[in-house]
Structure 1
Amino acid sequence: MLEDSFGRQFHYLRLSVTEACNFRCQYCLPDGYKGPTSDQFMTLNEIDTLLKAFAKLGTSKVRLTGGEPTLRRDFLDILQLTSNTPGIERVAMTTHGARMEKFAHQWKEAGLHQVNVSIDSLDPRQFAAITGQDKLKAVLRGLDAAIDAGLDVKVNSVLLNDFSDSRLHRFLAWLKDMPVTLRFIELMETGDLNQFFNKQHQSGTPLKSTLLDMGWQPLLRRKDAGPAQEFYHPDYAGKIGLIMPYSKDFCKTCNRLRVSAPGKLHLCLFSENGIDMRHLLATGNVDEVVAFLQDVLGQKHETHYLHEGKTGATKHLAMLGG
């Protein structure tokens, strides 16, 4: 089992397979993607070695992220490889959802258990303004397809200062009959978007108080769960989650590590630098990767230091998939 010097155990790997994305979300890639080309990202064989090493160390959940992971031509191969790796019990992915209507059933058959979809507004005009793409209707049809396929569906929505009461009420009305988990995420500061963060950051604490006052009740976390505090209400088909990285003791329950598409291990979303492991992955020697992971985990810090304004090497969230 992977365990750091603070006694935290790591069951959960967030694996980025590409940094590319064809959306232009205001809080991530407002000017579009201008990063590395696909030939600079890990190959299928390198991903295979990586997955086997993490599984050997007790990792039971893998989330495939990007960028937009489905932009890789071999995404289905990566998905099947992940789900067929002995020891990996749960496979999730994060996507903008624009291709989900067509492929949800295929992803399920390939071994996918859970999909997280970014929807920052249920108003088509506001959705287009935030994402740079007028595709809300297509994404919502994709949600229906994912539910029909039997996938566990979560929806991610970033809290921004223009997050109005009417926007919240629209989401709540939607959750009455929609069997998904809607997670509100505090905007996190990144190197490229300091001014946007200062203008738009909104704490999730008032929203948590509002939900509790409305009768929403906390749910227990799974051992491989992400960082969300989740709530349920007997009158709603859906659930609500809150991800508040600036809250006290947020990092105390950290259970996840990240590997970027170019093959760097990130001990934290906001680490100063990723630790290159591509040369080890290229050899295909699983035991060498295992020894490397055990050795470098001692470098993991107790907290992300976001509250001190330190964003590390993370210029934008597409670099590591959040």
Structure 2
Amino acid sequence: MIDPFGRKINYLRVSVTDRCDFRCKYCMSEHMTFLPKKDVLSLEELELVSAAFIRKGVRKIRITGGEPLVRKGIMELFRNLGLYLKSGELDELTLTTNGSQLATYAEQLYDAGVRRLNVSLDTLDPYRFQDITRWGNFEKVMGGIKAAQAAGLKIKINTVALKGFNDHEFDDLIKWTGAEGMDITFIETMPMGAIDEHRSDQFLPLSEVKKQLAGSWSLSPSSYQTGGPSDYFDVAETGSRVGFITPLSHNFCESCNRVRLTCTGMLYMCLGQQDNADLKAVLRGPDGLHALDAAIDEAIGRKPKGHDFIIDRKSDDKPAVPRHMSVTGG
């Protein structure tokens, strides 16, 4: 699949649920209203759409949420998609998780063909963790990370950089991840969905973070690539890597190779735009799978050049897009 700007689309992110067992302050409100189950694609439908993308050249699928591992029966989807790894039609099957359910599912994920995953973790302080996640259990997440490593899964930590919250912990996070044999990626907070706080108070440009870290660590540009938007640097002192995802201060749109499928079957060609294609309506319509390929082709033909994220009190801190990140998938 080639979009209007000549970019090869070979990466699909699939959100399997908008539900989460955390309520991270930069992501969602504490009292969220989640989708009724009838609006959510079944696991069979998620597999059918994923298979259509694989036929069209997608080589990597990332399962996201909400928290994907709270979806009932989710391992069935992992096992079925894992068959495409065995056949060679898919290069990688992975996921992004908050880690809360990893102790339960780590071995099953490895058996399904998952070899690496991302764990979202913004602080090493249990009290700060409780504060930012509202409902999270720090020790449970740490136990999940240990279980995943024991199962043979390679872990990368994703940390949202938040001014005044965790900006004093970045060195500790790099030291910890390096000691544990993990990489880490810092991410700028994104203006998606209404939350209970001002994002302009939270926003920390990663250009500032890089300067801060360069004073403590020997960072050199890395050739490592995962197919995602992270810009990696090797850390000489730890032997691990640190990545930076900068959707606001320096977007990565020129190399975008991915599209996102929501749990409701809406295909978003850009995280930061509202244009979408309703694949659920196509899939459940009279022509079913026959019409799905054409609908995907039409959608890819509308993929925009890039997004226009901005965080600014001048705009009353209104989100760039009204849907929450948990709806679109991380």
**TM-score with structure 2 length normalisation?**
0.90
Counterpart position of 2:82: 83
User: Which one of 180, 191, 210 corresponds to residue 178 of structure 1?
Assistant: 180
Asked if 2 retains the 8 angstrom alpha-carbon contact of 1:56 and 1:290, the reply is: no
Which amino acid is the alignment partner of residue 323 of structure 2?
K
Q: How many angstroms apart in 1 are the aligned matches of 2:195 and 2:236? A: 39
Aligned letter for 1:84? L
2:324 equivalent in structure 1: 316
In 2, Cα distance between equivalents of 1:314 and 1:238: 36
Give me the whole-angstrom Cα distance separating, in 2, the residues matched to 1:106 and 1:176.
26
Find the residue that maps to 1:10 and give its secondary structure: coil
> Do the aligned partners of residues 46 and 241 (structure 1) sit closer, same or farther apart at CA in structure 2, a change above 3 Å counting?
same
From 150, 172, 193, give the equivalent of 1:148.
Answer: 150
Instruction: Provide the C-alpha distance between the structure 2 equivalents of 1:9 and 1:314, rounded to a whole number of angstroms.
Output: 28
Q: 1:189 to 1:79 in 2, by over 3 A?
A: same
Q: Does 2:128 correspond to 1:120?
A: no
Identify the residue that residue 57 of structure 1 maps to in structure 2. Answer: 56
Alignment of 1:1-322 (within 5 A): 2-85=1-84, 86=87, 87-163=89-165, 166-193=168-195, 196-213=198-215, 214-222=217-225, 225-282=227-284, 285-307=288-310, 311=319, 313-322=321-330
Using a 3 Å threshold, how does the CA distance of structure 1 residues 48 and 175 change in structure 2: closer, same or farther? closer
Percent identity (aligned): 30
Q: Distance in 2 between matches of 1:34 and 1:160?
A: 25
Q: Find the residue that maps to 1:84 and give its secondary structure.
A: helix
1:91, CA displacement in angstroms?
A: 0.6
Query: Taking structure 1 as reference, are residues 31 and 164 closer, same or farther at Cα in structure 2, changes over 3 Å only?
Result: closer
Aligned-residue offset at 1:197: 0.9
CA drift of 1:282 comes to 3.0
Change (3 A) 1:252 1:13: same
How far apart in 2 are the matches of 1:22 and 1:311? 23
The residue identity in structure 2 corresponding to 1:130 is I
Q: What are the superposed Cα offsets for residues 113-165 of structure 1, whole Å, 9 maximum, x if unpaired?
A: 22111111000000000001351111112111111211121111111111455
Single out whichever of 260-269 and 194-203 deviates more from structure 2. 194-203
For residue 176 of structure 1, give the secondary structure of its aligned residue in structure 2: helix
TM-score by length of 1: 0.92
Cα distance in 2 for partners of 1:191, 1:256 equals 21
> 1:29-83 CA deviation, whole Å, 9 max, x = no partner?
2314311123321112212221121011110100111111111111000111222
Query: In the alignment, is the contact (CA less than 8 A) between 1:23 and 1:32 conserved in 2?
Result: no
- State the Cα distance separating 1:6 from its structure 2 match: 0.8
Deviates more, 1:145-154 or 1:206-215: 206-215
**What's the secondary structure of 1:279's corresponding residue?**
helix
CA–CA distance in structure 2, aligned partners of residues 180 and 303 of structure 1: 31
The alignment partner of 1:306 has SS state of coil
Unpaired segments ≥5 residues, structure 1: none
The alignment yields a C-alpha RMSD, in angstroms, of 2.1
Distance 1:261 1:135 in 2: 26
CA contact (8 A) 1:177 1:237 kept: no
Distance 1:188 1:234 in 2: 30
CA spacing shift, 1:249–1:103, aligned 2, 3 Å: closer
More displaced stretch, 267-276 vs 176-185: 267-276
In 1, Cα distance between equivalents of 2:116 and 2:57: 20
Cα distance change on mapping 1:44 and 1:139 into 2, 3 Å: same
Cα distance, 1:15 vs. partner?
Answer: 0.2
Amino acid at match of 1:263: G
CA shift at 1:195, angstroms? 5.1
SS in 1 for 2:33: coil
Q: Secondary structure at the match of 2:114?
A: coil
Asked if the contact 1:180–1:237 (Cα under 8 Å) also holds between the matched residues in 2, the reply is: no
Number of equivalenced pairs = 320
Q: In the aligned structure 2, how far is the partner of 1:176 from the partner of 1:63? A: 24
CA shift for structure 1 position 241 = 1.1
**8 Å CA contact 2:2, 2:9 repeated in 1:** yes
* Inter-CA distance 113–295: structure 2 relative to 1 (3 Å threshold): same
